[in-house]
């Protein structure tokens, strides 16, 4: 079936990555986005500038305007901030999609944890907290390390590790830093705020599902083990998984920024199958019924514990990993599901190895320039090379911010080979950063 009209709510980065492929499959593409870019206007057939987070009525009026240009056959988003409005738009137009309650559970980490507990999945201790006093009380009650995080968000933004041995003053300082970060982020980053964008009860939202992300955070006991992720699709009762990705974090134990990812993992096929089964159970626990998902888990000798599930495809290198190792295009699968098709895939062993490494800023400052990209850009081993910031942009390292400068992913014969290739190519790239307090002092990484 061709010539279907697909409405996408919000996109980040360069949409040409997926728009060209979807157009080749016969999809016409419209976009609703707050402050669309020139790249958006080039990639989509129709672009509607709408702040979809201001209110349901205005957003749905824009959805109807899109539908008048040509009947919409499916609604989806590849971004975290689009999950709830996509559910609302699909409901309004009578199209395939997840229920509002499922979409909210996929965005609210407290409601998500509660759903996992009800489904009998391995779960840490968890609680919502609204003050440093409450954090200290829980740390003493649980007696172990814990993680403080925003109720929404992604990419480990604002996620900090705490210990029961931390002084009250330190906990209070960390708590204030996270709240300030959320407040500043929702003010300055118009494309991806932390707040929950929720309509009222008229649209099927329970009052108990509404939280203020500046006054309420989530605290959960620290989950030990190796972090992994699973991407896949949900089509009714069928969950298809596209393999397991192994994730490495920065060495600083206070923060949880990713540094590298690998596919396949070191666990082996049998353990990876167990991981995929747990990921599928987690999607069902949230009530998700249609679309892509990205599940992050921790694997230890005793447990496979779900960290969280996002009701959209994995960000950054994930879709590239899946396409290269399995041949499955997650963008195309999500588009077909949004249009009401039933989709499912049998598990398959990866046909190559993939490695990815983030470029992380060692300190906060202004990015002056990036050298060495021309040396590696055309290397046949490079699968993706992405730089997120332009020269002159301000970048922030923890605790000022939780950003990365870009990433490099490569294909190889096995993991060891991928590691060698990443070491070789990343050594060619130099980021020149001027600290904000010493404009004439330049750091090179």
Q: Are residues 382 and 411 in the same domain?
A: yes
Q: Are residues 372 and 336 in the same domain?
A: no
Domain assignment of residue 335, yes or no: yes
Range of the domain at 387: 357-444
- Residue that wins the pLDDT comparison between 388 and 358: 358
Domain assignment of residue 107, yes or no: no
Q: Percentage of the chain with pLDDT > 70?
A: 91
Q: Are residues 234 and 186 in the same domain?
A: no
| Of 316, 351, 386, the domain-final residue | 351
Band the pLDDT of 398: cuts 50, 70, 90: confident
Q: Are residues 318 and 364 in the same domain?
A: no
Q: Is the pLDDT of residue 50 over 80?
A: yes
Q: Is 223 left (phi over 0), alpha (psi -120 to 50) or beta?
A: beta
Domain assignment of residue 113, yes or no: no
Task: Please tell me the predicted confidence (pLDDT) of residue 285.
Answer: 97
The number of helix segments (H) and strand segments (E) in the chain equals 13, 20
Band the pLDDT of 442: cuts 50, 70, 90: very low
CA distance 18 to 310: 19
Q: Are residues 340 and 230 in the same domain?
A: yes
Q: Are residues 290 and 333 in the same domain?
A: yes
Domain assignment of residue 235, yes or no: yes
Half-sphere exposure of 163 (CA within 13 A, CB side): 6
Band the pLDDT of 196: cuts 50, 70, 90: low
Task: Please tell me the predicted confidence (pLDDT) of residue 155.
Answer: 62
Domain count, the chain: 4
| Of 329, 351, 373, the domain-final residue | 351
Domain assignment of residue 263, yes or no: yes
Q: Is the pLDDT of residue 402 over 60?
A: yes
Task: Please tell me the predicted confidence (pLDDT) of residue 156.
Answer: 65
**Alpha carbon 172 to chain centroid distance?**
28
| Of 168, 187, 222, the domain-final residue | 222
Q: Are residues 213 and 281 in the same domain?
A: no
Query: Could you tell me the CATH number of the domain that includes residue 158?
Result: 3.30.1490.20
Q: Is the pLDDT of residue 93 over 90?
A: yes
How high does pLDDT run on average in the chain?
88
- Single out the residue of 262, 192, 214 nearest to residue 418, CA to CA: 262
> What number is the average pLDDT over the span 73-102?
93
Q: Are residues 420 and 386 in the same domain?
A: yes
167 contact partners, CB below 8 Å, separation of at least 6: none
Q: Is the pLDDT of residue 188 over 90?
A: no
- Single out the residue of 392, 87, 63 nearest to residue 209, CA to CA: 87
Count of all residues that appear for the chain in the document: 445
CA distance 169 to 138: 15
43 contact partners, CB below 8 Å, separation of at least 6: 14, 15, 16, 19, 20, 29, 31
> What number is the average pLDDT over the span 96-123?
94
Domain assignment of residue 66, yes or no: yes
Quick one: CA dihedral 33, 36, 192, 96, positive or negative?
A: positive
Q: Are residues 404 and 422 in the same domain?
A: yes
Query: Could you tell me the CATH number of the domain that includes residue 308?
Result: 3.30.470.20
Q: Is 94 left (phi over 0), alpha (psi -120 to 50) or beta?
A: left
């Amino acid at each position: 079936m061709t010539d279907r009209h697909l409405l996408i709510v919000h996109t980040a980065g360069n949409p040409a990555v997926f728009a060209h492929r979807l157009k080749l499959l016969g999809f016409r593409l419209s976009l609703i986005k707050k402050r669309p870019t020139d790249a958006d206007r080039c990639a989509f057939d129709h672009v509607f500038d709408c702040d979809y987070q201001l209110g349901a009525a205005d957003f749905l009026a824009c959805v109807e305007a899109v539908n008048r240009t040509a009947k919409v056959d499916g609604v989806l988003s590849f971004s975290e901030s689009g999950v709830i409005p996509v559910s609302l738009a699909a409901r309004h137009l009578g199209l395939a999609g997840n229920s509002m309650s499922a979409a909210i559970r996929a965005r609210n980490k407290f409601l998500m944890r509660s759903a996992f507990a009800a489904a009998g999945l391995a779960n840490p201790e968890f609680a919502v907290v609204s003050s440093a006093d409450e954090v200290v009380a829980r740390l003493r009650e649980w007696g172990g390390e814990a993680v403080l995080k925003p109720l929404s968000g992604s990419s480990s933004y604002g996620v900090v590790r705490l210990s029961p041995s931390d002084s009250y003053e330190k906990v209070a300082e960390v708590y204030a830093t996270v709240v300030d970060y959320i407040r500043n982020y929702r003010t300055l980053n118009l494309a991806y705020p932390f707040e929950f964008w929720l309509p009222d009860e008229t649209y099927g939202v329970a009052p108990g599902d509404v939280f203020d992300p500046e006054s309420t955070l989530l605290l959960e006991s620290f989950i030990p083990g190796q972090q992994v992720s699973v991407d896949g699709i949900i089509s009714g009762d069928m969950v298809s998984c596209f393999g397991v990705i192994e994730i490495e974090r920065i060495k600083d134990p206070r923060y949880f920024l990713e540094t590298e990812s690998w596919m396949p993992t070191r666990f082996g096929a049998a353990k990876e199958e167990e991981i995929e089964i747990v990921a599928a159970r987690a999607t069902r626990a949230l009530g998700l019924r249609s679309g892509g998902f990205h599940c992050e888990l921790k694997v230890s000798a005793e447990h496979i514990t779900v960290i969280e599930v996002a009701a959209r495809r994995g960000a950054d290198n994930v879709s590239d990993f899946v396409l290269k190792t399995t041949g499955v295009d997650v963008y195309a699968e999500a588009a077909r599901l949004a249009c009401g098709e039933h989709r499912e895939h049998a598990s398959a062993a990866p046909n190559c190895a993939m490695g990815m490494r983030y470029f992380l800023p060692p300190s906060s400052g202004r990015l002056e320039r990036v050298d060495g990209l021309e040396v590696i850009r055309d290397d046949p081993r490079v699968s993706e090379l992405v730089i997120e910031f332009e020269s002159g942009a301000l970048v922030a390292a923890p605790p000022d911010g939780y950003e990365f400068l870009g990433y490099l992913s490569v294909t190889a014969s096995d993991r060891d080979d991928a590691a060698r290739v990443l070491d070789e190519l990343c050594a060619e790239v130099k980021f020149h950063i001027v600290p904000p307090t010493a404009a004439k002092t330049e750091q090179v990484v």
